[in-house]
Structure 1
Amino acid sequence: MKKKNLKLVLAISFLLLLGFGLFVYVRHHLYSQGVLTIYGNVDIREVQLAFYDTGRILKMYVQEGQRVKKGQLLAELDPVRFEDAVREAEHTVELDKAALENAEITYRRDEALAKEQFVSLQERDNAFAALKEARNKLKADEARLSLAKRELQDAKLYAPQDGVIEDRILEPGDMVTPQTAVFTMALDQPVWVRAYVPESYLGKIFLGMKAEILTDSYPGKVFHGWIGFISPVSEFTPKNVETPDLRTKLVYQVRVYSENSDYRLRLGMPATVRIPLKQSYPPEKPPLTME
């Protein structure tokens, strides 16, 4: 019986030593080589696209999953109401220009007659006041015309950046307001990996450090990136990132950006990030930033 207990104790001790040795080896392999390995998920920015004005959607030109370029026309409202407003404003401006021309002629005539005392100074002053009023009215109506033209232009919805249409929320015929989203668009260049660094390694990383991103979806493919954000606030390790024994340890969120020029990195994709720690500070070139 004692021999069995002794064998059990030896076996447990052996396993503990083996586990400790494996831990030391992994730690040495990861960190003594000057490489910090962290884990996270790919994240991207999303924007809700909406019109500037209220109206009924006339046409929509893109579908879900379609890649679009900055400035590309995505949808437009029924323009009839806006076109009528522009025509009315243009007509008013034309009338104002004619009235201003008459006011200028009247003032010049009364000014000349006042010098010869054929008309009173009061009549000349009245003509000058009418001229100022005509000028101010023309200026105000030209501003209204400019606004009407802008509203007509805003009846079309354009892509603010390159990206991918994620959701086509509304359809032609739907009524919209500036608070109503028409599309959800993903800005997937650049993207970043949201990962977490233990507090003990916080002093070894800095903005602009080069990093490598690896994913299970593309074995052997290395995506080059850089550290673009280090959180100033610590937090507990998210439960979906680490094992239960590490969840209570404080970490700092970092974002490792990648240009994603081939669009392979997608939202939510698990990723491994390797950061060579032996890099010069400050970095050779300023870290790239997102627009």
Structure 2
Amino acid sequence: MSTRGQGTGRGPDRRGAGACGLLVVLGLVALSGCKPSGAQESAPQQPASVVLGPEDVVRVESRELQEGPVLSGTLQARRAATMRAEVQGAVLEMAVEQGQRVKKGQLLARIQDVSQRDQLLAANTAVRVARNALQVARSEEQRNRELVKAGVITRRDHERTQLARAQAEAQLAEAQSRRVLAREQVGRTRIVAPFAGVVSERLASAGDVIQPGTPLYTVIDPTSLRLEASVPAAQLSVLKPGTGVDFTVSGYGDRSFQGRIERINPAVDPATGQVRLYVTLPNTEQGLLTGLFAEGRVAALKREVPAVPVSAVDTRAEPPTVLRVQQGKLARVPVTLGMTDEVTRLVELRSGAKAGDILVRGSAQDLTEGTPVEVRPPEKPQEPEPGVGGAGTPPEAPEPR
């Protein structure tokens, strides 16, 4: 019994171990069948978005555009005079300096006038002699007239006295004209300002020996400037005297100045086919200087239209196209262009894009249509962090006990 009992106790142990091994194998098979397909095959990756900065995009906005001929040139004083010597001599005085304001008639320079005053003295003497001679001739004529009436002398003798009186009058007139000329020569030794303005150039110094025609000063009127420019003759239809011109001047940033067409040359240059314009630029505040480069545009047409910079439009295709940011991707859209502002470099969008659309410009236009993009907003200036231990530092919380 005991022996059977021991023999029957070993058999069930082997069968139980085998059953447990089978369960482990079946469990591993079941686990392998439950693995997802993604563990065996990698999922396709989405293309990364291209980040566009504020310099790569532009928003379509309603702007004021102007269209008309573009003018450029150097500003010049509308009134300018170069004061030159009219007599020969040494310069005694140069009374004003370059950049100094002068009034009309103010003395600018003096030239030695010794010889001119000698000539004036001689002319005055000649006038006195001629006047005395005329007085004698008139008295002689009066006496002879009485003698002719009395029959003492002949009429021929009286005619001789009349001729002598006429010659004396002519000599007096000649002497007086010489005195006027001598007085003018003395006056020419004093150089005065022809109008109120500013001395822009000083071209001589005291002690210089000069000849007639030698330049001494240049005086300009800075209250009114002038710009001379040429435009194609084909644009004359939009030009007329009085038309406004908007200017920007080098050295003054984006500040705008207003001028007007004063006159138009009636002749076309046959070599260039262009017409000369003369534009006046008020300078009452005298903020502008002569010699500065100015660029302007005749305000022939002005409109408020949706517009973008020219760099946002691809004109290589027909019709022109733009890259618009639409639902996070780029879409190429054909557009119809209108007027172009040559000064601000803005172009009108008549169709294809509306106000508020975001367009790609510049080098970002090389991106292909359908590219996912992300527009980065402009960075705000960072506020300075409060100093350590300063008044802006929040108090530290007490440590827990």
* Aligned positions of 1:251-270 closer than 5 A: 252-270=275-293
Structure showing the higher strand proportion among its residues = 2
- Do 1:44 and 1:187's aligned partners in 2 also have CA atoms closer than 8 Å? no
What secondary structure sits across from 2:68 in the alignment? strand
Aligned to 1:66: 100
After superposition, the CA RMSD in angstroms is 3.3
Given candidates 208, 220, 243, the residue that maps to 1:209 is 243
How far, CA to CA, are the matches of 1:203 and 1:214 in structure 2?
24
Kindly indicate whether the alpha-carbon contact (under 8 Å) linking 1:39 and 1:270 is maintained by their aligned counterparts in 2: no
1:124 matched to 2:147? The reply is no
Contact 2:247 2:297 in 1 (8 A): yes
Change (3 A) 1:106 1:190: same
Q: Residue by residue, what CA displacement relative to the aligned partner does 1:224-257 show, whole Å, maximum 9, x if unpaired?
A: 21012445436999xxxxxxxxxxxx76553432
Within the candidate set 53, 75, 87, 1:43 is matched to 75
| 2:88 alignment counterpart | 54
Alpha-carbon distance change, 62 to 117 in structure 1, aligned in 2, over 3 angstroms:
same
Matches within 5 A, 1:1-291: 33-36=65-68, 38=70, 40-45=72-77, 46-197=80-231, 201-219=235-253, 221-230=255-264, 232-233=267-268, 252-278=275-301
- Deviation for aligned residue 1:29: 6.7
- Cα offset for 1:141? 0.6
CA offset at residue 142 of structure 1? 0.9
Greater RCO (CA < 8 Å, at least 6 residues apart): 1
What is the CA–CA distance in structure 1 between the aligned matches of 2:122 and 2:202, rounded to whole Å? 35
For the residue of structure 2 that corresponds to 1:94, the secondary structure is helix
Q: Distance in 1 between matches of 2:76 and 2:232?
A: 23
> Under a length normalisation based on structure 1, what TM-score does the superposition of the two structures give?
0.71
Say if 1:47 and 1:162 are closer, same or farther in 2 by CA, change over 3 A. same
Are the structure 2 counterparts of residues 105 and 196 from structure 1 closer, same or farther at C-alpha, using a change threshold of 3 Å?
A: closer
Question: Given the superposition, is the C-alpha separation of residues 109 and 193 from structure 1 closer, same or farther in structure 2, using an over 3 Å criterion?
Answer: closer
Overall identity of the aligned pairs, in %: 25
Query: Quick one: which amino acid aligns to residue 288 of structure 2?
Result: L
Partner amino acid for 1:266? Answer: L
Structure 1, unpaired ranges of 5+: 1-21, 238-249, 280-291
Tell me if structure 2 keeps the 8 A contact 1:111–1:124: yes
Separation of aligned partners in 2, 1:69 and 1:36: 40
Aligned-partner residue type, residue 126 of structure 2: T
- Which is greater in Rg? 2
Which whole-Å CA distance do the structure 2 matches of 1:129 and 1:37 have between them?
Answer: 73
- Look up the SS of the partner of 1:145 in the other structure: helix
TM-score, normalised via structure 2 length:
0.53
Change (3 A) 1:36 1:89: same
CA 263–112 in structure 1, closer or farther in 2 if over 3 Å, else same: same
The DSSP-based 3-state class of the residue aligned with 1:88 is helix
Equivalence for 1:6 = none
* Distance in 1, Cα, partners of 2:261 & 2:191: 34
Q: Which amino acid aligns with 1:222?
A: S
